[in-house]
Amino acid sequence: MFNNLDFLQKFETEKEFQIPFLKSSFEDNIWSLELNKTKKQNTVIDFNIPLKDGVLLTHTRNYKTLYTFKKLIMNLFYLDEMYLNSEATILARLYGILHLFNLINFYDDGSFAKNGFKSVDKDQLLFLFNKKLHNPILFDLYSGQEKLASFLESEGIKIPANLTNADILQIEKLLKTKNIDLQKALFPNLFLGVQFSLSNVLLNKVNHKYIREYSSYFRNDETSSHSVDSTIQNLLTGIKLMNKMHSDTDHNCSLPFKSELEFILNYNFNGKEIKHFETYPVESIFKIMQSCLDFHFEYGKDITKSFCSFLNSIESDGLSNNKLKIIIDKNYLDNLTIKSSSSKLKSLGVSCYYMETNENYFKNIRANKSLLSLLKVYYGCVQFVVGALMARRQSEISSMEIGCFDESNLQLSFRKSKSYIHSFGIRDYISLPTTEVVIDMLKNINEIAKKLNNNESNKLFVFPNTWTPWNAKRDKHNFYENLDTLFDYLEVDLINDKRPYIRQHQLRRFFAMAFFWSKGFKSIDTLRWFLGHTNAEHVYHYIQENLDGQVMNNVKAQYITENIENHNNLKELLKTKFGVVSYDMIDKDDLADYVNTLLENKLITVEPEFLDDDKNNQFEIIVKVKNHG
């Protein structure tokens, strides 16, 4: 039995110095990583975490568990892709591994404390992953409410029945007097801790939470609590790395059995297949686009100026300098809203700052009662128009910064995804032409972004925090919430009693879809107006330059699927390759998969053929079958 950590030799010393952001040695019990430059502080991993039996992870008794965990993290850093990722992505992957440990340790029945990672089986992992899927908020995931209530009671601190902000301040003063760090007291056995404010958790903001009017028609909706991509992807990174570590010959590692890990890696947490061709009828997108533009021209300036006036009044009252995480009284915010709103908005119905999510919530949104809801609708309009017209990835749009537009030259600047100028993911800036209406919209939200605190990275699409509106709400889900609020406000047509809450990856296909379908409903003139191009061929070149091959193939496959009766030469190839005989019964998604496979294998091409005429606007979509073999 080992009684010390002497066996922990330098972990591949020759590689250790190839990780420039790791400022500690493998043997150190506290690691410092230079990976948080936006906050101007290092990321610290303190391995002195108590296990379920109260013994620290760094105790000699737990040497194999500690060694295995450290090597797991190092294997993450040694992945080739890490050197091409941004600091934010590296941190996200690292936090995923730390949270995987947190879950195993927090919900341990004693076996992990006793036997380490080798005791972890597929049933336990399934339980933990499903816990995370159904509790995306960390405070709830780690039983925060129960822990908080129990701790305050043990400290003799009573919570009044009708709690107010004044009561919260009194509780915070008592904790400060006792020199209590509440986050460490509640969650001593968690890496990273759990960030929360007493105001949010004690005042229980269930009366103003994000909801949608209908279920989403799209099964790969990123805001779904069952979305693997957005919720447990980084946890799965840890499982993949442990599975890979089985190929090493390091006997000091104590890992779960390979079969248990592979079961999790092959498990379908979505419970159903995710569609790849969930596009939305382009006619409907044009309809939403028109509504967004109408809303912008009618109310964009009023909403922006009213909200800026609202923030100016808060600043004049000295509240925006308050560093305490307190929630301002709703009556104050409502009165300030009425005072700050333009006569047009008050005539429209604005009478409060935000609304409670009761049974009349969506009816009240459409009645324009809340300034904050109108702002969400307007941000949704801007996101929709910019997302459709610029055909960029969401990460690129989210990267846009304050003042990123050039009015005189009609250009937008942003960081290009998957394009790096050196290691560790510093993405290159690019500028692209755009339209006057896009710049006009961005100028409006630019005025709000400049006024918000907590926006160190100067992001353009940050949204005001609900209860401290002078602060930026740094949450990627704001982007989705704004779009969803827009679709509910416009009462976008339902499909099978579900609403199509569109995402940016679907909007990116908008131009290509509109081009291919334009023969059916004359959208090409609208496209030319959006893009400022003189003819159809120029429009198509723009589309090709701004969409990658996979997206173009998806659009072409959908077009062919919906127009298969016009392409007899393709029917023969589908029969030969996939045994398709009847097109009445086949699922459209399956047919689109088949066509996409033919496109990827270059067995067919789908391209426009432009015809000579005075305006160079005429074209035909030609499908060429290259190989029947």
Classify burial at 416, counting beta carbons within 10 Å of its beta carbon; exposed 0-12, middle 13-18, buried 19 or more: middle
Sheet holding 427-433, edge to edge: 405-406, 411-420, 427-433
Would the CA dihedral through 220, 221, 223, 226 be positive or negative?
A: negative
Residue type, 33: L
In angstroms, rounded to a whole number, what is the distance separating the alpha carbons of residues 587 and 292? 33
pLDDT at 205 exceeding the cut of 60 = no
Same domain membership, residue 326 and residue 190? no
Q: What does the pLDDT read at residue 8?
A: 45
Higher local confidence (pLDDT), 104 or 584: 104
pLDDT at 349 exceeding the cut of 90 = yes
Same domain membership, residue 72 and residue 150? yes
Same domain membership, residue 225 and residue 323? no
Mean pLDDT of the chain: 81
Same domain membership, residue 602 and residue 484? no
Same domain membership, residue 307 and residue 239? no
- Domain interval for residue 377: 282-394+437-504
pLDDT at 152 exceeding the cut of 60 = yes
**What total of structural domains would you count in the chain?**
3
Q: CB under 8 Å, gap of 24 or more: what pairs does 190-194 form? A: 190/49, 190/102, 190/105, 190/106, 190/142, 191/45, 191/46, 191/49, 191/98, 191/99, 191/101, 191/102, 192/95, 192/98, 192/99, 192/102, 194/138, 194/139, 194/142, 194/144
User: Does the residue 299 lie in any domain?
Assistant: yes
User: Does the residue 615 lie in any domain?
Assistant: yes
Percentage of the chain exceeding pLDDT 90: 32
Summarize the confidence of residues 597-622 as an average pLDDT: 81
Q: How far is CA 403 from the centre of its chain?
A: 23
pLDDT tens-digit series, residues 84-123: 567 777 888 899 999 999 999 999 999 999 999 999 999 9
Higher local confidence (pLDDT), 270 or 23: 23
pLDDT at 230 exceeding the cut of 60 = no
Q: How confident is residue 385, by pLDDT bands cut at 50, 70 and 90?
A: very high
Summarize the confidence of residues 553-574 as an average pLDDT: 85
Same domain membership, residue 253 and residue 295? no
User: Does the residue 526 lie in any domain?
Assistant: no
Quickly count: other Cβ atoms within 10 Å of residue 57's Cβ: 22
CB 108 within 8 A of CB 128: no
Give the pair of three-digit tokens for residue 40: 């101007």
| Residue 413 host element (H or E) | strand 411-420
User: Does the residue 496 lie in any domain?
Assistant: yes
User: Does the residue 372 lie in any domain?
Assistant: yes
Q: What does the pLDDT read at residue 420?
A: 44
Same domain membership, residue 287 and residue 261? no
In angstroms, rounded to a whole number, what is the distance separating the alpha carbons of residues 405 and 396? 14
Domain-ending residue, one of 455, 483, 504: 504
pLDDT tens-digit series, residues 485-534: 999 999 999 988 889 888 887 787 777 777 776 654 445 666 666 555 56
Q: What does the pLDDT read at residue 560?
A: 86
Q: Averaging pLDDT over each range in 186-190, 432-436, 455-459, which range is the top one?
A: 186-190
Same domain membership, residue 287 and residue 243? no
User: Does the residue 243 lie in any domain?
Assistant: yes
Same domain membership, residue 574 and residue 454? no
Same domain membership, residue 305 and residue 197? no
Q: What does the pLDDT read at residue 242?
A: 95
Domain-ending residue, one of 219, 235, 265: 265
Q: What is the 3-state secondary structure (H, E, C) of 104-123?
A: HHHCCCCHHHHHHHHHCCHH
Same domain membership, residue 306 and residue 173? no
Would the CA dihedral through 298, 299, 304, 305 be positive or negative?
A: positive
Q: How confident is residue 11, by pLDDT bands cut at 50, 70 and 90?
A: very low
Q: How confident is residue 613, by pLDDT bands cut at 50, 70 and 90?
A: low
Q: Which of 342, 320, 608 is nearest to 472 (CA)?
A: 320
pTM of the model: 0.63
Same domain membership, residue 156 and residue 61? yes
In angstroms, rounded to a whole number, what is the distance separating the alpha carbons of residues 538 and 531? 9
In angstroms, rounded to a whole number, what is the distance separating the alpha carbons of residues 388 and 502? 11
Polymer length in residues for the chain: 629
User: Does the residue 422 lie in any domain?
Assistant: no
Give the pair of three-digit tokens for residue 430: 């690019």
pLDDT at 364 exceeding the cut of 60 = yes
User: Does the residue 513 lie in any domain?
Assistant: no
